[in-house]
Amino acid sequence: MPGKRIVLILLPWLAFLLRMEAQIDPEHRQLVHLGYNQPLEGRGPIAGYAFYYHNEPKFFRENLTLRAAVAPTYLDSELGIARVLTPGTDLGIGLAGGGFADNYSEVRQGNLRQDESFTGYGGQTSFSLYHTFNPLPEGRTAAAFSEIPLQAVLRNTLRYSTYETSSKTAADFVIPDDKVAHHLRAGLRWGGREPLMEPAMAGELSAWYEGQFRADSPRYGFDRDREIEAQTHLFWCRALAAYTFSNSQRFEISVTAGTTVNPDRFSSYRPGGALPLGAEFPLMLPGYYSQELTSERFSLIAANYSVPLAEQFHLLMFGSTAWVDYLTGLEQPGNWHSGIGGGLGWIAPSGSWHIMVGYGFGMDAIRDGDRGAHNVSLIVQWDLERGGLRLPDIRKTLRTINPGSLRGGDQRF
């Protein structure tokens, strides 16, 4: 089934890579993002993304913002309503769902266990409150550290997940039952990072808590040897800085750390891979499989530096190192993991296209009993607005819809 294979190559773990909505985005954006990691030895989980990101402030009304990330089998959307409770408090109403969003891949000591992996689908609704403690007047950007926005986020999410075996799942491996989970997230964020491959400038200090609460779930696996915790608590923080100098050299560095209480395979941290938009908080380790490591606690430092070359080209160097405390049952020798790499980037004169090809070497990744792994990557960003291309205005499209035009569709949808 080549069509299904293409979808699986482009769209793994979509529930994570499309969640970049930690605040209402004030900028109008039309972006297409593509990313893919290919290991050069061994076989890991499919690692890639492909989605269109649309953000439209003043959607129908001055205080409404529509954000949507659209992939071939998944939609993640949120309607932001500004100034709901106070001048600095906004409300977000989210709806997301689709195929392959809850896939699970078991990786142990560098081996993808396809007989213990399975396919998952899911959908969710969410309600979020975003409170800015120091809001700026509309249209004005921060000119001093004291004006960088400090925001509190409170999100309440209800998610339904359903699972099925893949063609490689072992016949005697019992997959999890369908489940409903309640997620409660709270956080403080000072600054932030735009949803771009390489924003010219960015700065962030943030701290987060998320509680995941599930109804009682039967054990699963071989002879039902694995359990799903009724509740898990996650705590993490991030410090990030990015800056572009006047000579077009750019650097970015981030430090991320997290811990858990009552973790399981569905709620652990999973570092690995090198996709910058693979998650809201990407835990990248060049050369490793995507989500290769499964940890209860971790600390990760990542950095990259680019220098301009000839016309529109730049050379990128990157690396990261992490200490991980493994989830029980997924341990491996050594707690430190490091990866380095480099790439060649090209930016169109208009800034509409940004393409990067890269290579990564995972120094501590286990492959066939030895240390060391290699992969290559392709990352693309297409800014439709900088290229002079605008998709049809959603507001105008919706205004043309009337009840008569929808007749007959109710039997199909």
Alpha carbon distance 102, 206 (integer Å):
26
Q: Which residue has the tokens 């489940």?
A: 179
pLDDT value at position 410? 29
Q: Summarize pLDDT for 141-174 with one digit per residue, the tens.
A: 665 666 788 999 999 999 999 999 999 999 999 9
Cα atoms found within 13 Å of the Cα of residue 24, Cβ hemisphere only: 31
Alpha carbon distance 131, 409 (integer Å):
40
Amino acid symbol at 320: S
Q: Tell me: domain 2-411, CATH 2.40.160.50, correct?
A: yes
Q: Summarize pLDDT for 212-232 with one digit per residue, the tens.
A: 999 878 899 999 999 999 999
**Under a CB-based contact definition with an 8 Å cutoff, are residues 129 and 162 in contact?**
no
Q: Which residue has the tokens 């000591």?
A: 109
Question: Which range (6-10, 27-31, 267-271, 314-318) has the least confidence?
Answer: 6-10
Q: What is the 3-state secondary structure (H, E, C) of 26-95?
A: CCCEEEEEEEEEEECCCCCCCEEEEEEEEEEECCCCCCEEEEEEEECCEEEEEEEECCCCCCCEEEEEEE
* Residues whose CB falls within 8 Å of the CB of residue 361, separated by 6 or more in sequence, listed in order: 286, 287, 339, 340, 341, 372, 373, 374
For residue 195, give both structure tokens.
């949803």
Amino acid symbol at 13: W
